[in-house]
Homo-oligomer: A and B are copies of this chain.
Amino acid sequence: MSRRVGLSTAAVVGAAVEVIDESGLEALTLAAVASRTGVAAPSLYKHVSSLGELRTLVGLRLLEEMTERFTAAVMGRSGAEAIAILMREYRAYVIEHPARYAAMPADPLHDPALAAAGTKLLNVFLAVLRGHGIEGPDAIHTTRCARAIMHGFASIEASGGFGLPEDLDETYERLIQMFVASL
């Protein structure tokens, strides 16, 4: 009984992302993914070596998703405009997928499985700054500043940490102007 379902690692990761989208990161459990894919929980081990690995693979997919999206958004733009667009796109992603953002790996460069994808994402930012004439150690500091601003705002917003929901656009535009003005 129970015909073969035709699962794959990619399908398992996809189901995991769906679980996160629907029920939040803390609901990402092998049991939930198994139920969603129509399979018994231990069967998932044929495609994924552990829950920890599944989390890593989800993080990898999300990193790639962000990179692709940011690359497309910034294409054909340059200078301060490109920087502002990148920052707005970052926030837009988090608003669209707040639960996914919580699943984002905090230190991708430290995990060998994520380092390459993390570097690619970082390079989008470095490329935009280079187009603004910022390079070398300066670019490192500047990128860190941008990350801190974007991640800080986005993570607080995604977790509902700001009291009033209105005016958040204005707050974020202030941050963008603040950052751009400092360059």
Contacts and interface: CB of A to CB of B under 8 A. Distances in A.
A102 to B, nearest CB: 10
Nearest to A173: B141
Interface string A85-112: 0000000000000000000001111100
Interface string A126-158: 000000000001001100110111111101100
Q: Is the interface of A mostly helix, strand, loop or mixed?
A: helix
A63 to B, nearest CB: 13
Contacts of A140: 164, 167, 171
A147 B179 CA distance: 15
Given A149-B149, A175-B148, A178-B182, A137 B106 contact: no
A145 B107 contact: no
Number of copies: 2
Interface residues of A, number: 36
A137 B137 CA distance: 37
Contacts of A164: 140
Contact of A171 (B141, B153, B177): B141
Nearest to A151: B152
B159 A145 contact: no
A164 to B, nearest CB: 8
A93 to B, nearest CB: 15
A86 to B, nearest CB: 15
A139 to B, nearest CB: 12
Interface of A: 106-110, 137, 140-141, 144-145, 147-153, 155-156, 159-164, 167-168, 170-171, 174-175, 177-179, 181-182
Instruction: Pick the 4 closest A-B CB pairs, nearest first.
Output: A152-B152, A106-B159, A148-B152, A148-B153
